[in-house]
A and B are shown apart, each in its own frame.
Chain A
């Protein structure tokens, strides 16, 4: 069994966890932006976050965007679906654990079955005949279920937007992932090593046009990214995005529509 802090040799997923912790500590050390200078009350470290966002956009321009473009143009649709299936499969143990912690036992069972059945192909093929979809659950959502406050908005280098709570959740998910702890051997290591970059490229490729529109054509790409992140995250916390069962936006948001316009 590998221990998380056993650093004899480079382990990308452990590196990610360490980077996440370092980013949290570094951002916590930043001086907060005065409330009057913030463009959103939730964005306590806005000045520092905007600098990190500019860095992330440079990384995207020079690395991620060209790679994602190449990926879309060269990997056939079947291959892209297989990679998406595998990435989803790899998150099932975490979903099963977090669903259990949140009392969502049906989802935990579905995640476990999905992981076992599709494990025959390392998740590259979806062998499950059940149409019922597994809702992804992470430790950030588990913390939210236990009423842990979401904390500040953080722009994490390379990884993108998070809240303090979701970032903490990411670290715990990496540490607790059974694949991380029990998977051994060269194949397991190779697969693990490829997961993080493959996930980033796949996400960028799947959202290529929408991402580019935010990046190149919006008035304030940083503010738009923050808005999209919060709406998506709220939807996930309320189990709405995956089910398509309603709206992530509170209807109270529209109260001002019906006020006097003067």
Chain B
């Protein structure tokens, strides 16, 4: 009886003792994710300040930012949906290269829209024990465009540096949109993963429409 009571008290003490540690851990993850986004924005602003509009240097900068701040392996895998499992090693490697190229191209094509934008951080919240959502707003300093709400989804896995894996603009997830589009391409081609690779190759070879 005494032993049982002792165990109950010990468990209660243990639970109480670990509670502040868990809260601190969630705070730490939020702080780390927020700091990652702040650094990335500062990096981009520094580049924009000296940007000459040269496509090659813009592409190089985007490639560097993707490597430094984004979890490209996770993004690549998720964007292929359930068909990632069906792809062989060569197809996965080829898809990864093409996906990165398409992504870089999309960002570079819309790069001019970043000019004149000012970022202000918003609320940050923890989602389970895997990732954190960092909120923020982009405001057009020229007043020509309405403010745009953005959420950065940041992976915060133990023992690994935080990395962005999704951007939501006005609550529209870019990763989910890309995944649903890619899955649609594979499904319309009777589940052939190679069809997605071919569609991406064709897209890259076709002349792109710029706004």
**Which residues from chain A sit less than 8 Å from chain B, CB to CB?**
38-40, 77, 208-209, 212-213, 215-220, 222-224, 226-228, 231-232, 235, 240-241, 244, 246-249, 251, 253-254, 256-258, 261-262
List chain B residues, Cβ under 8 A from A220: 181, 184-185, 188, 199
List chain A residues, Cβ under 8 A from B211: 208-209, 212-213
List 30 interface pairs A-B (beta carbons < 8 Å), by A numbering.
A38-B187, A39-B183, A40-B184, A40-B187, A208-B211, A209-B113, A213-B211, A216-B209, A218-B181, A219-B196, A219-B200, A220-B199, A223-B184, A227-B180, A231-B171, A231-B172, A231-B176, A240-B171, A244-B149, A247-B168, A247-B173, A248-B171, A248-B173, A249-B168, A251-B128, A254-B153, A254-B165, A256-B78, A256-B82, A257-B165
Number of A-B contacts (CB under 8 A): 110
Nearest CB of chain A from residue B190's CB, rounded to whole Å:
9
Task: Find out whether the CB atom of A223 lies under 8 angstroms from the CB atom of B180.
Answer: yes
Task: Find out whether the CB atom of B131 lies under 8 angstroms from the CB atom of A254.
Answer: yes
B160-211 interface (Cβ within 8 A of A): 165-166, 168, 170-173, 176-177, 180-185, 187-188, 196, 199-200, 203, 208-209, 211
List chain A residues, Cβ under 8 A from B39: none
Could you tell me the distance between the alpha carbons of A38 and B180 in the complex, rounded to whole angstroms? 12
Chain B 111-146 interface mask (CB, 8 Å, partner A; 1/0): 001000000000000011011010101000000100
Could you tell me the distance between the alpha carbons of A262 and B85 in the complex, rounded to whole angstroms? 6
Which residue in chain A gives the minimum CB-CB distance to B135? Answer: A244
**Which residues from chain B sit less than 8 Å from chain A, CB to CB?**
74, 77-78, 82, 84-85, 106, 109-110, 113, 127-128, 130-131, 133, 135, 137, 144, 149, 151, 153, 155, 165-166, 168, 170-173, 176-177, 180-185, 187-188, 196, 199-200, 203, 208-209, 211
List chain A residues, Cβ under 8 A from B155: 257
List chain A residues, Cβ under 8 A from B109: 213, 217
Task: Find out whether the CB atom of A261 lies under 8 angstroms from the CB atom of B171.
Answer: no
List chain A residues, Cβ under 8 A from B173: 231, 247-249, 253
Task: Find out whether the CB atom of A249 lies under 8 angstroms from the CB atom of B176.
Answer: yes
Nearest CB of chain A from residue B50's CB, rounded to whole Å:
24
List chain B residues, Cβ under 8 A from A223: 180-181, 184-185
Task: Find out whether the CB atom of A227 lies under 8 angstroms from the CB atom of B208.
Answer: no
Task: Find out whether the CB atom of A217 lies under 8 angstroms from the CB atom of B106.
Answer: yes
Which residue in chain B gives the minimum CB-CB distance to A251? Answer: B127
Choice from B74, B85, B151, B176 contacting A253 with Cβ under 8 Å: B176
Nearest CB of chain B from residue A91's CB, rounded to whole Å:
17
List chain B residues, Cβ under 8 A from A216: 208-209
Could you tell me the distance between the alpha carbons of A254 and B85 in the complex, rounded to whole angstroms? 16
Task: Find out whether the CB atom of B78 lies under 8 angstroms from the CB atom of A226.
Answer: no
Nearest first, the 10 A-B pairs at minimum CB distance are: A223-B184, A216-B209, A39-B184, A244-B149, A227-B180, A248-B171, A39-B187, A209-B211, A235-B171, A249-B173
Could you tell me the distance between the alpha carbons of A254 and B166 in the complex, rounded to whole angstroms? 10
